[in-house]
Structure 1
Amino acid sequence: MTAAFRTLLFGGGALGGLTAGLLAGRIGAEGALTVAAIGSAVVVIGLLVSPVSRLRALPVAPSAPDAAG
């Protein structure tokens, strides 16, 4: 699990850097930062309107059946 997560994290960071560089080259640094700020705001708004913001405890997972039984 950890290796897969790290692969996705580092791969996503590399793709994000490439995308940011291409975007800054096309519309300039100020425009790229504006796009990043709008994207961050959309994520925050999405979290605020989702059930995640009202979650107070983790849901209990169903127990696994006995291996002996």
Structure 2
Amino acid sequence: MFFGSTSTVGVHPREIARQALKLNAAAVICSHNHPSGKAEPSQQDKAITLKIKNVMELIDVRLVDHIVVGGGQF
């Protein structure tokens, strides 16, 4: 849903919520890649995951997981 540079991307939880509602989703799984090859979630990853989770709770959609992929690992 979002595109960025090799170091950052703007993620908007409202856009994820909009898509979930459009698809009548009961749950969502988010994922993104780390071009650095490190699959370890950053502090920013953890913070946006919490924001996404909070927004999803408001519309009764469960955030199942947020998967970070890098270097063939997740």
The answer, yes or no, to whether TM exceeds 0.5 is no
- Which one has the bigger strand percentage? 2
Structure whose alpha-carbon radius of gyration is higher: 1
Between structures 1 and 2, the one with greater helix share: 1
Q: TM-score, normalised by structure 2?
A: 0.30
Higher relative contact order (CA 8 A, sep 6+): 2
